[in-house]
Chain A
Amino acid sequence: MLYFGKQIIEISFALWHLPESLPRGLRGTTFSKMSASITGLLKPWTPRVFLVRWSRYNPYYLEPEPRKEVYHIPETELTPEQKEERELKSVRPIKAATNSVTSSVFNDPVLSKFVNMMMKDGDKIIAKGIITQTLENMKRKQVEKYHKAPEGKKAEIECNPYAIFHQALENCKPVIGLASIQKGGKFYQVPIPLTDNRRRFLAMKWMITECRDNKHRRTLMYEKLSQELLAAFSKEGNVVKRKHELHKMAESNRAYAHYRWW
């Protein structure tokens, strides 16, 4: 079911027994507890029971798709799943696109997430400024390296700051994580698989904390960030070291892996 996590009280008990694996996406969504008319679902909404993470959108709303190219695919090249998704979107209301999202080619969801994580006290202008300066700095360094390099090595030097950022982040993402599980009165560090979101979050968090804490006081943030990102791009630096340490810890605690029950 789509929204088990959000609408707990609203669902009648019998729905817990519904088949968990619905083979085709969103077949026969049930509305047994909702009002008799669908128009009640289309207004700004406050849930009857407030969970910690709730939103003003009714769970009936779908996420928007702001990219242009998705809508230019002709009918013939769509897979059956995409066709079904299109039909579903035509009958469901869609949420509004957020402020940080555009259809432009420069809009990068990973970069937006990084900017939000850098942001302090809601000051996005400063955070975005730092990131822009970081990217510029990285480009300058790489172009300098490019011009100094001999002919054979020029092709290997990556100058696109966005590509460097993505690759550096990929190199920082841990593959396996640790969870503290209590068993028999003691807490053990148990290796667990991580979801993609969690991995991305950890990589970004480590990058930012590393730059804030472990650098020389006088260097500016963008300078620290560009140094760290370039190091991570070539798989050196403290963040990648931290990732390796986590992997080693997980490997050493392999014996407790069976403590995980999910």
Chain B
Amino acid sequence: MAASSGRTVGSFLWKCGNFCFNFNTVSSNLTRQVLSRQLCVSAVFHRKNLAAAGPEKFSEEFIKKQVEEFNIGKRHLANMMGEDPETFTQGDIDRSIAYLFPSGLFDNKAKPLMKHPDEVFPKQRAVQWGADGRPFHFLFYTGKQSYYSLMHDTFTKALAVEKHQDRLRGKGLFTQDAKQISLVGSRWLLKEELEELLVETISDHDYARFIQLMERLLSLPYCSAEEDFVQRYRRQLEIQSSKQQVQPLQYDQHGVAYSTGDGRRKTATGTVLLRDSGSGSISINGTNYVHYFPVLQDREQLMFPLHFMGVLGRFDMQCSVSGGGHSSQAGALRLAISRAMLSFLSEGQVETMRQAGLLTPDPRIKERKKPGQEGARRKFTWKKR
């Protein structure tokens, strides 16, 4: 018997719904008629892409019934928790289940689960042939009918665009600079995502051919007519600057704004306390920065974030740094200063700082020595014999 590694709790709740009348649940006839059968979801369903795994395991009416039961169970749960059933989100459901059924298990897949049936039961295809055994789709015998029909559609669209271009050329209205589709903030669907969309498995070669065909469609000057089609197979990339964690500004007892930041470079770590007092003095480990960093390049690195934002004389800095050499200490402090400055800056300025390379921690480290060589790259002296 397949091990049950997750149980949908919806059915359990109907039992509660039937019994807990004092919670003012709306117990319709439907819920009373629903059998209190418990669902076992086997481990197989946590594997992706079950579509090609064989004949349909669940019929459409079954899935529809599951959806209805889920929705009703959701309303019961909301009532039980004292929340408004209309605005009960999936996050609220997860929290309520974790509260009502606390589990000491560590594996997340073993804990009680209540999600929409579309997320629990994998997408699968209905039976592809009729009562007479004849398949519905003309490409059924290729084995990957959705993939090949998609390729055919794309190519048909490319031909249509080319025909349109030829017609324009015939009329003399063809221009190279027609409006183009903007592709900058998005990426192509990954192979796994495409498989999910098509509900069938495709190979790496198939995926590469698909991308190649789409690129060919995009290379035509008048492809903007098919923009919707193309955007269906693209995903937006997230804006990087939104990932920066900016600490809120703190104020000390005199009302002066201050913030802290820390940074690391190679083996050096540094922390900085930035105060908005307007004198521009910098002290590192108790000494003046001119004495601590006699080399010009290190002092320039300290000033880089301040000069870039144009706030050279504004901040007072108290830095402490340890580890590494003079260059890496300067780099660590530069990162710490940039991070501390974020609290004083607006969103656009944070983005410019990121694009100037001030907010990325430098990942370069000393390359390890390899066995059979004297150093990281240097080999032992070659001896002929």
Contacts and interface: CB of A to CB of B under 8 A. Distances in A.
A24 interface: yes
Contacts of B187: 28-29, 31, 38
B304 interface: yes
B216 A30 contact: no
Contact of B218 (A15, A28, A61, A96): A28
A234 interface: no
Contacts of A92: 237, 240
A99 B301 contact: yes
Interface string B186-213: 0110111000000000001101110110
B87 to A, nearest CB: 30
A64 B363 contact: no
Contacts of A104: 300, 303-304, 307
A87 B356 CA distance: 15
Nearest to B365: A56
Contacts of B205: 12, 14
Contacts of A88: 184-185
Interface stretch (B13-21, B127-135, B144-152, B347-355): B347-355
A65 B356 CA distance: 5
State the majority secondary structure of interface residues on B: helix
A15 B240 contact: no
A15 B361 contact: no
A113 to B, nearest CB: 15
B184 A93 contact: no
A92 B238 CA distance: 9
Nearest to B237: A91
B238 A94 contact: no
A90 interface: yes
Contacts of B238: 91
B68 interface: no
Contacts of A36: 190, 192
B81 interface: no
A176 B191 CA distance: 47
Nearest to B304: A102
A30 B188 contact: yes
Given A14-B204, A103-B304, A95 B191 contact: no
A152 interface: no
A88 B298 CA distance: 32
Interface in A211-240: none
A40 interface: no
A104 B301 CA distance: 10
Nearest to A34: B190
Interface in A68-108: 68, 71, 84, 87-97, 99-104
Interface in B72-98: none
A28 B211 contact: yes
Given A64-B356, A97-B304, A84 B184 contact: yes
B25 interface: no
A72 to B, nearest CB: 9
B185 to A, nearest CB: 5
A66 interface: yes
B364 interface: yes
B23 interface: no
A65 B304 CA distance: 13
Contact of A97 (B208, B218, B240, B357): B357
A2 interface: no
A52 to B, nearest CB: 9
Nearest to B192: A36
B183 interface: yes
Contact of A66 (B207, B212, B331, B356): B356
20 contacts: A14-B208, A17-B212, A23-B219, A27-B215, A28-B211, A30-B208, A38-B187, A56-B364, A57-B363, A64-B357, A66-B356, A68-B307, A68-B308, A71-B355, A91-B184, A94-B354, A96-B335, A99-B301, A102-B307, A104-B300
Given A19-B215, A30-B208, A31-B188, 5 more contacts: A64-B357, A95-B360, A96-B358, A97-B356, A128-B297
